[in-house]
């Protein structure tokens, strides 16, 4: 059966998708994206070690490269060749654009990580994987070695997307932790995306004249106003 564009689906179908938590998939950034990164030989921001997670922090002096950030396992991207026996953490930052935060019914960080990480969006912690509770310094470590090894991609759902996303530029910050200084490997790569529902217009003008009443007309995305 041929499925037409969601912009042409009846309103009843879109409402059903909304109730089911489904809708249009929207990727905010992909795996292999470019990030700014800072090697954990010291705190990335002082005197407040949390400032680096916030949008206003300047990371212009940080290194830059594509994910995955890794050593010791068969990934591609940015190899961190001096980490083993030297430092246990890596700090990552990147910006992404959001048209309308309230459009997102779900938001998921999909990540592969060895051995643990904490992620913040616009300074708000959204995911914590395989690390202890509380604030962790640049000398912190993961709770243990990750399994399976090499690491695989897992989904980390983020609750209440509209409360953490902003219209326009958004900042995601990630602190990656190795299990210990002598660990043979490390990796982090991730993508961010969610499900959004097509915008509905209450009194739509139909783009094409129709014989029947067009109370359920939905404008195509190309012809609708920008959010």
Binding footprint of Ca ion on the chain (CB under 5 A): 114-115, 178-179, 183, 185
Q: Is 9 exposed, middle or buried (0-12, 13-18, 19+ CB in 10 A)?
A: middle
Q: CB-wise, 59 or 114, nearer to Ca ion?
A: 114
Q: Using alpha carbons, list the distances in angstroms from residue 200 to 14, 23, 59.
A: 9, 13, 39
Q: CB-wise, 146 or 218, nearer to Ca ion?
A: 146
Closest separation in Å from C-beta 185 to Ca ion: 5
Say if strands 63-66 and 104-114 run parallel, antiparallel, or are unpaired. Answer: unpaired
Closest separation in Å from C-beta 128 to Ca ion: 17
**Which DSSP helix (H) or strand (E) runs through 18?**
helix 11-19
Q: Give residue for tokens 């209450």.
A: 202
Closest separation in Å from C-beta 151 to Ca ion: 9
Q: Which of 48, 152, 40, 26 minimizes the C-alpha distance to 97?
A: 26
Q: CB-wise, 26 or 73, nearer to Ca ion?
A: 73
Q: CB-wise, 98 or 112, nearer to Ca ion?
A: 112
Half-sphere exposure of 12 (CA within 13 A, CB side): 1
Closest chain position to Ca ion (CB): 183
Q: CB-wise, 68 or 107, nearer to Ca ion?
A: 68
Closest separation in Å from C-beta 119 to Ca ion: 18
Closest separation in Å from C-beta 177 to Ca ion: 9
Q: Is 46 exposed, middle or buried (0-12, 13-18, 19+ CB in 10 A)?
A: exposed
């Amino acid at each position: 059966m041929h499925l037409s564009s969601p912009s042409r689906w009846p309103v009843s179908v879109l409402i059903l998708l909304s109730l089911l938590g489904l809708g249009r998939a929207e990727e905010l950034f992909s795996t292999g994206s470019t990030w700014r990164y800072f090697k954990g030989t010291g705190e990335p921001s002082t005197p407040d070690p949390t400032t680096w997670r916030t949008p206003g922090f300047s990371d212009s002096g940080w290194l830059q490269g594509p994910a995955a950030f890794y050593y010791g396992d068969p990934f591609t991207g940015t190899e961190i060749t001096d980490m083993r026996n030297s430092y246990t953490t890596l700090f990552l930052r990147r910006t992404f654009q959001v048209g309308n935060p309230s459009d997102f019914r779900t938001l998921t960080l999909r990540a592969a990580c060895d051995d643990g990480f904490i992620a913040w969006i616009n300074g708000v912690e959204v995911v914590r994987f395989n690390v202890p509770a509380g604030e962790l310094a640049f000398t912190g470590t993961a709770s243990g070695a990750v399994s399976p090894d090499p690491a695989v991609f897992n989904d980390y759902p983020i609750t209440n997307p509209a409360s953490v996303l902003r219209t326009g530029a958004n900042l995601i910050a990630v602190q990656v932790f190795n299990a210990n200084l002598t660990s043979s490997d490390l990796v982090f790569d991730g993508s961010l995306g969610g499900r959004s529902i097509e915008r509905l217009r209450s009194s739509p003008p139909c783009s094409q004249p129709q014989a029947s009443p067009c109370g359920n007309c939905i404008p195509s995305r190309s012809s609708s106003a920008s959010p």
